[in-house]
Amino acid sequence: MRKDLIDAYLAPLYSYFNGLIPLSSQEQELIAEKFRPRLYRKRQYIHQEGDVCTQLNFVIRGCLRMYKVDEKGNTHIIQFGSENKWINDLGSFHSKRISELNIDALEDTMVLQVGYDDLISMYVQAPKFDRIFRVLTENSYIAVQKRLLQNISSTAEQRYHYFLETYPELSYRLPQTQIASFLGITPEFLSRLRSQQSKKP
C-alpha cells in the first residue's frame, strides 16, 4: 500500500489519541510503525470464536459488530464499532486464551490493527501509551457496565429509546435486524415497537 494512503488512514487515530493526551512526533511515528491498515468486506470475519484474539482494532470507516452465538444459534451483539471506535475481545487478547466471540463486518470496513507484541513494544518505547490504553480500557469498562445495567433493568422499548439517543447515526445506518440483535429482541418485535412508536408520539 502506498505511503500517502497509509498516512491518510492513520490521521483519525492520531487525532483520537491527541484528543486524549497530546502526542510527540516520535510517538506518532511509533504508531505509524506499529499499526497496519486493513480492509474487511461486508460479512467478513475480523476475528472468529475458537481463535485467540491477537490484535486490537480501531475503525477508520465502516462498521463492525462483536457478538456471541449461543447454543441455539442465535447471535447476540455485544457491541458495534463504527468510525473512531475500538472493538476488541480484550479478554482473549490479554489472557491469550481462546475466544468465544466473533467480530465481523456489517459494511465494508477499514481498520487499523496492532498485534500483541507490537503493543507491548509501544508501551516499552513510550510509556505514555500505558496511560492512553488505560484510559481507553476504563472507558470501555464503563460503557459495558452501563449496558449491563440497562439490560437487566429496562424493557425492550426503553432500551430501544436509549439506543436511539446514544447512537442516532447507527439507528438509520444499520439494518433493524442488527439493532434488534443488539437490543436482545427479535426483528419482528422491534418492528412492532417502531410501528407503535410512530402511531403515538
Partner DNA sequence: ATCTAGATCAAGGGTATTTCTTGATGTAGT
Partner DNA sequence: ACTACATCAAGAAATACCCTTGATCTAGAT
Residue ranges binding DNA (CB under 7 A): 72, 74, 155-157, 175-177, 184-192, 194-195
Q: For residue 167, what is its C-alpha cell? A: 447512537
Q: Is 141 in the site for its own copies (CB under 8 A)?
A: no
Q: Is 147 in the site for its own copies (CB under 8 A)?
A: no
141 binds, among DNA, its own copies, none (CB under 5 to 8 A by kind): none
Q: Taking the complex as a whole, how short is the minimal distance between the CB of residue 51 and its own copies, in angstroms?
A: 9
Tell me the β-bridge partners of 191: none
Q: If binding means CB under 8 A, how many residues of this protein chain bind its own copies?
A: 16
19 binds its own copies (CB under 8 A): no
Residue 35 near residue 113, CB atoms below 8 Å = yes
Element holding 23 (H helix, E strand): none
Contact (CB, 8 A) for 76 and 184 = yes
Q: Give the Cβ contact number of residue 40 at 10 Å.
A: 20
Looking at 26, 48, 139, 177, which residue binds its own copies (CB under 8 A)? 48
Q: Please report whether residue 175 would count as binding its own copies according to CB under 8 A.
A: no
Q: Least distance in Å: CB of 42 to its own copies?
A: 7
- Candidate residues 26, 41, 96, 158; the one interacting with its own copies per rule CB under 8 A: 41
Q: Where are the beta strands (DSSP E) in the chain?
A: 36-40, 45-47, 55-61, 64-69, 75-81, 102-105, 109-115
Residue placing its CB nearer to DNA in the complex, 121 or 176: 176
Question: From the list DNA, its own copies, none, which binds 12 (C-beta under 5 to 8 Å, kind-based)?
Answer: none
* Residue of 45, 177, 188, 194 that binds its own copies (CB under 8 A): 45
Q: Which does 44 bind (CB under 5 to 8 A by kind): DNA, its own copies, none?
A: its own copies
List the one residue from 11, 15, 21, 42 that touches its own copies (CB under 8 A): 42
HEC string for 64-104: EEEEEECCCCCEEEEEEECCCCECCCHHHHHHCCECCCEEE
Please enumerate, as own/partner, the contacts of 89-94 that have beta carbons within 8 Å and a separation of 24 or more: 89/47, 89/53, 90/137, 90/140, 92/52, 92/53, 93/52, 93/53, 93/54, 93/55, 93/56
CB 40 to DNA: min, Å:
14
